[in-house]
Protein backbone atom coordinates (compact mmCIF):
# COMPACT_ATOMS: atom_id res chain seq x y z
CA UNK A 1 0.00 0.00 0.00
CA UNK A 2 1.31 3.43 -0.94
CA UNK A 3 1.94 5.91 1.88
CA UNK A 4 -0.08 9.14 2.05
CA UNK A 5 2.01 12.19 1.14
CA UNK A 6 0.16 14.39 3.64
CA UNK A 7 3.15 16.59 4.53
CA UNK A 8 4.11 17.18 0.88
CA UNK A 9 0.46 17.84 0.04
CA UNK A 10 0.13 20.37 2.88
CA UNK A 11 3.08 22.35 1.50
CA UNK A 12 1.33 22.71 -1.85
CA UNK A 13 -2.16 23.29 -0.43
CA UNK A 14 -3.48 26.85 -0.81
CA UNK A 15 -6.57 26.27 1.36
CA UNK A 16 -7.02 29.12 3.84
CA UNK A 17 -9.68 27.36 5.90
CA UNK A 18 -7.52 26.51 8.89
CA UNK A 19 -9.90 24.42 11.04
CA UNK A 20 -10.37 21.76 8.34
CA UNK A 21 -9.08 18.32 9.27
CA UNK A 22 -8.81 17.22 5.63
CA UNK A 23 -5.89 19.50 4.75
CA UNK A 24 -3.27 17.39 2.97
CA UNK A 25 -5.58 14.38 2.72
CA UNK A 26 -6.44 15.10 -0.90
CA UNK A 27 -8.54 11.97 -1.48
CA UNK A 28 -10.93 12.97 1.33
CA UNK A 29 -10.85 16.64 0.34
CA UNK A 30 -11.80 15.97 -3.31
CA UNK A 31 -14.49 13.47 -2.34
CA UNK A 32 -15.98 15.89 0.19
CA UNK A 33 -16.19 18.84 -2.18
CA UNK A 34 -17.08 16.95 -5.37
CA UNK A 35 -20.02 15.25 -3.67
CA UNK A 36 -21.40 18.77 -3.02
CA UNK A 37 -20.84 20.02 -6.58
CA UNK A 38 -17.64 21.80 -5.63
CA UNK A 39 -13.92 21.62 -6.32
CA UNK A 40 -11.24 21.81 -3.60
CA UNK A 41 -9.37 25.03 -2.78
CA UNK A 42 -6.39 24.14 -4.99
CA UNK A 43 -8.58 24.37 -8.11
CA UNK A 44 -8.88 28.12 -7.53
CA UNK A 45 -6.41 31.00 -7.54
CA UNK A 46 -5.64 32.08 -3.97
CA UNK A 47 -7.70 35.28 -4.03
CA UNK A 48 -10.79 33.36 -5.24
CA UNK A 49 -10.14 30.48 -2.84
CA UNK A 50 -10.39 32.95 0.07
CA UNK A 51 -14.05 33.64 -0.79
CA UNK A 52 -14.82 29.97 0.06
CA UNK A 53 -17.09 29.80 -2.98
CA UNK A 54 -15.80 26.46 -4.25
CA UNK A 55 -18.71 25.79 -6.61
CA UNK A 56 -18.06 24.37 -10.06
CA UNK A 57 -19.96 27.41 -11.39
CA UNK A 58 -17.43 29.71 -9.74
CA UNK A 59 -14.58 27.65 -11.22
CA UNK A 60 -16.07 28.05 -14.72
CA UNK A 61 -16.76 31.76 -14.15
CA UNK A 62 -13.17 32.32 -12.99
CA UNK A 63 -11.78 30.36 -15.92
CA UNK A 64 -13.89 32.30 -18.41
CA UNK A 65 -12.70 35.58 -16.90
CA UNK A 66 -9.00 34.76 -16.39
CA UNK A 67 -8.19 31.78 -18.59
CA UNK A 68 -5.78 29.20 -17.19
CA UNK A 69 -3.99 30.54 -14.06
CA UNK A 70 -2.12 27.37 -13.05
S1 LIG B 1 -10.43 22.50 0.31
FE2 LIG B 1 -12.09 21.98 1.75
S3 LIG B 1 -11.76 19.87 2.44
FE4 LIG B 1 -9.90 20.62 1.41
S5 LIG B 1 -8.57 21.31 3.06
FE6 LIG B 1 -9.74 23.09 2.32
S7 LIG B 1 -11.63 23.22 3.54
FE8 LIG B 1 -10.69 21.21 3.84
Ligand 1 and 23: CB distance under 6 A: yes
> 58 and 48 in contact (C-beta within 8 Å)?
yes
- E strand map for the chain: none
Nearest-CA residue for atom 4 of ligand 1: 29
pLDDT in tens, 12-60: 999 999 999 999 999 999 999 999 999 999 999 999 999 999 999 999 9
Nearest-CA residue for atom 5 of ligand 1: 23
Ligand 1 and 25: CB distance under 6 A: no
- Its pTM stands at 0.90
Amino acid sequence: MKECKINENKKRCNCSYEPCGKKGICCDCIQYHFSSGQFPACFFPSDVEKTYDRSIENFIKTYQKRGPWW
